[in-house]
């Protein structure tokens, strides 16, 4: 049993890893990730030169040093334009932006297209100048102002040790997003791969040789595990590259991965793997019902819909992890990997609940394997085009 399984596993794995498609898809995904991780830098690259800015100011203070401090990188030329002249200057291309500041502190920005960054910077600076003038005019004691500006300190005391801090909650929901994406991605991509491979072996009729030499369950497990290995290899490459390329981006820093505990990682791994196996087994079983690659869509669609349902449920649950319906749904094996993981991350879930959901998942994986081998035995020898007819045939004991 073991030797045949290993032979099948090794052959499947090597064929996949050596295939050009594996190399190409990995390279493409790495490129995508590197691009996505450096999106800020790339956007910067394309934004071109700093706009030429002219400043028309009726105020006595020179705004330029303050503007520089507020982050304006362009050179600022002072001019004495009216609005009409400013328009002309912009039209002619002498300046990209003309900022007109009146002594009433009204500001007009003249430019060909909206300049939202500059607008905020100018507004901040002018507001500071105005505030300063108002304070001086009203003769307000600077100390009074300082005590007004001071925020009220709030200290949070948590009574239960399992409670989550704000940071933890944020990191958890970010992680849940990551997991949901990973699960969807993996199951849709690699699950689809399982169906395609099985359909391929059926249409090239190798299947008859394979299952006359090894049992359907060995074949099915070897297929699922070899593709799981391929997916883990590919995902580790992607996670590694993604981590290094995204490390510096601000988006990444918000994830605060430092708050990840060992417990979280274990949960992530367990739910992810069990989820993969459940869906993969289901897809393998259904894959044995089709005989051509073109028909694979017909059987993958219902499973993909299940994943989408799980995804939507978890999106809703993010805002209401304690909702009674969410609690109930987290025990449904198809939804457990996403919904139960989310509950564990965001709330306190008793250990017995987690255990029960895991046991239910294991039972349904075994069940799916059992049904799968039954399908397999009947399905792989029958070459019809209609999977439903096929299913009826197997269920009624006719092959």
Partner 1 sequence: MLEIKHITKRFGDFTAVDALTIEVPRGQIFGLLGANGAGKTTTFRMLLGLLQPTEGSITWNGERIPTSKIGYLPEERGLYPKVRVDEQLLFLAELRDMKRKDAKRALTEWLEYFQIPQYEKMRVEQLSKGNQQKIQLISAVLHKPELLILDEPFSGLDPVNAEQLKRAVKKLTVDGTTIVFSSHRMDHVEELCEHVAILDHGKPVVAGYLPDIKASYGKTRVLLKTDAPPLLWDSLPGILQVESDNNGYVVQVSSKETADQLLQHIVSEGHHVDRFVWDQLSLQDIFIEEVGKRYES
User: 142 vs 397, which CB is nearer to partner 1?
Assistant: 397
112: contact with partner 1 by CB under 8 A: no
Give the chain as a 3 state SS string.
CHHHHHHHHHHHHHHHHHCHHHHHHHHHHHHHHHHHHCHHHHHHHHCCCCCCEEEEECCCCCCHHHHHHCCCCCCEEECCCCHHHHHHHHHHCCCCEEEEECCCCCEEEEECCCCHHHHHHHHHHHHHHHHHHHHHHHCCCHHHHHHHHCCCCCCCCCCCCCCCCHHHHHHHHHHHHHHHHHHHHHHHHHHHHHHHHHHHHHHCCHHHHHHHHCCHHHHHHHHHHHHHHHHHHHHHHHHHHHHHHHCCCHHHHHCCHHHCCHHHHHHHHHHHHHHHHHHHHHHHHHHCCCCCHHHHHHHHHHHHHHHHHHHHHHHHHCCCCCCHHHHHHCCCCCCHHHHHHHHHHHCCCCHHHHHHHHHHHHHHHHHHHHHHHHHHHHHCCCCCCCHHHHHHHHHCCCC
Choice between 268 and 296, CB closer to partner 1 = 296
Q: Closest separation between CB of residue 213 and partner 1, Å?
A: 4
Nearest to partner 1 of 219, 343 (CB atom): 219
**Residue selected from 1, 2, 3, 166 as contacting partner 1 according to rule CB under 8 A:** 3
Interaction between residue 396 and partner 1 (CB under 8 A) = yes
For residue 253, the cross-strand partners are none
Residues 14-73 that bind partner 1 (CB under 8 A): 15
172 binds partner 1 (CB under 8 A): no
Is 318 one of the binding residues for partner 1 (CB under 8 A)? no
Instruction: Give me 220's structure tokens.
Output: 């099915």
The yes or no reply on residue 397 touching partner 1 (CB under 8 A) is yes
| Per CB under 8 A, 11 contacts partner 1 | yes
Question: CB-wise, 14 or 144, nearer to partner 1?
Answer: 14
Site for partner 1 (CB under 8 A): which residue of 214, 217, 309, 362?
214
Please state the closest distance from residue 8 (CB atom) to partner 1, in A: 7
Backbone angles phi, psi at 199, to 5 degrees: -60, -40
8 Å CB contact between 71 and 30: no
Report the nearest approach of partner 1 to the CB of residue 354 (Å). 40
Return the half-sphere exposure (C-beta side, CA atoms, 13 A cut-off) of residue 148.
Answer: 6
Which CB atom, from 115 or from 201, has the smaller least distance to partner 1? 201
**Within positions 116 to 155, which residues make up the interface with partner 1, using CB under 8 A?**
none
Nearer to partner 1, 203 or 245 (CB): 203
Q: Which of 212, 350, 351, 352: binder of partner 1 (CB under 8 A)?
A: 212
- Give the shortest CB-271-to-partner 1 separation in angstroms: 34
In the bound state with partner 1, the residue whose beta carbon lies nearer, of 26 and 203, is 203
Q: Which of 60, 156, 161, 204 binds partner 1 (CB under 8 A)?
A: 204
Nearest approach in angstroms of CB 382 to partner 1 is 11
Q: Tell whether residue 247 is a contact of partner 1 (CB under 8 A).
A: no
CB of residue 384 vs partner 1: minimum separation in angstroms?
14
Shortest approach of partner 1 to residue 189 CB, angstroms? 20
Q: Is 4 exposed, middle or buried (0-12, 13-18, 19+ CB in 10 A)?
A: middle
Of positions 211, 220, 285, 289, contacts partner 1 by CB under 8 A? 211
- Residue (37 or 378) nearer to partner 1, CB: 378
- In what side-by-side order are the strands of the sheet with 76-78? 76-78, 53-57, 97-101, 107-111
Residues 370-389 that bind partner 1 (CB under 8 A): 377, 381
Nearer residue to partner 1 within complex by CB, 324 or 396? 396
Which residue number, 83 or 206, has a Cβ lying nearer to partner 1? 206
User: Residues in the site for partner 1, rule: CB under 8 A?
Assistant: 3-4, 7-8, 11, 15, 201, 204-214, 377, 381, 396-399
């Amino acid at each position: 049993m073991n030797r045949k399984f290993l032979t099948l596993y090794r052959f499947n794995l090597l064929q996949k890893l050596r295939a050009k498609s594996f190399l190409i898809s990995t390279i493409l995904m790495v490129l995508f990730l590197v691009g996505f991780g450096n999106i800020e830098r790339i956007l910067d690259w394309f934004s071109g030169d700093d706009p030429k800015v002219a400043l028309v100011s009726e105020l006595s203070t020179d705004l330029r040093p303050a503007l520089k401090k507020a982050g304006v990188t362009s050179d600022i030329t002072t001019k004495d334009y009216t609005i009409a002249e400013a328009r002309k200057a912009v039209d002619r291309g002498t300046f990209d932006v003309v900022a007109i500041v009146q002594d009433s502190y009204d500001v007009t920005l003249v430019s060909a297209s909206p300049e939202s960054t500059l607008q905020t910077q100018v507004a901040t600076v002018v507001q500071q100048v105005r505030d300063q003038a108002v304070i001086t005019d009203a003769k307000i004691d600077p100390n009074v102002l300082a005590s007004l500006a001071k925020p009220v300190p709030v200290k949070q005391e948590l009574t239960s040790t399992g409670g989550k801090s704000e940071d933890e909650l944020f990191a958890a929901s970010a992680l849940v997003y990551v997991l949901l994406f990973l699960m969807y991605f993996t199951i849709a991509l690699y699950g689809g791969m399982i169906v395609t491979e099985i359909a391929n072996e059926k249409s090239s009729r190798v299947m008859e040789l394979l299952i006359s030499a090894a049992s359907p369950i060995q074949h099915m497990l070897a297929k699922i595990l070899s593709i799981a290995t391929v997916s883990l290899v590919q995902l580790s490459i992607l996670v590694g590259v993604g981590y290094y390329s995204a490390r510096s981006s601000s988006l990444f820093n918000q994830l605060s991965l430092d708050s990840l505990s060992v417990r979280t990682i274990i949960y992530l791994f367990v739910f992810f793997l069990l989820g993969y196996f459940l869906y993969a087994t289901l897809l393998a079983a259904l894959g044995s019902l089709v005989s051509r690659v073109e028909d694979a869509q017909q059987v993958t669609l219902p499973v993909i819909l299940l994943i989408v349902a799980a995804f939507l449920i978890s999106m809703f649950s993010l805002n209401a992890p304690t909702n009674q319906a969410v609690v109930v749904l987290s025990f449904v094996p198809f939804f457990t990997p996403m919904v139960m993981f989310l509950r564990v991350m965001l709330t306190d879930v008793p250990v017995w609940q987690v255990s029960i959901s895991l046991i239910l998942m294991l039972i349904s994986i075994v069940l799916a394997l059992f049904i799968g081998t039954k399908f397999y035995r009947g399905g792989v020898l029958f070459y019809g085009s209609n999977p439903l007819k096929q299913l009826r045939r197997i269920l009624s004991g006719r092959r």
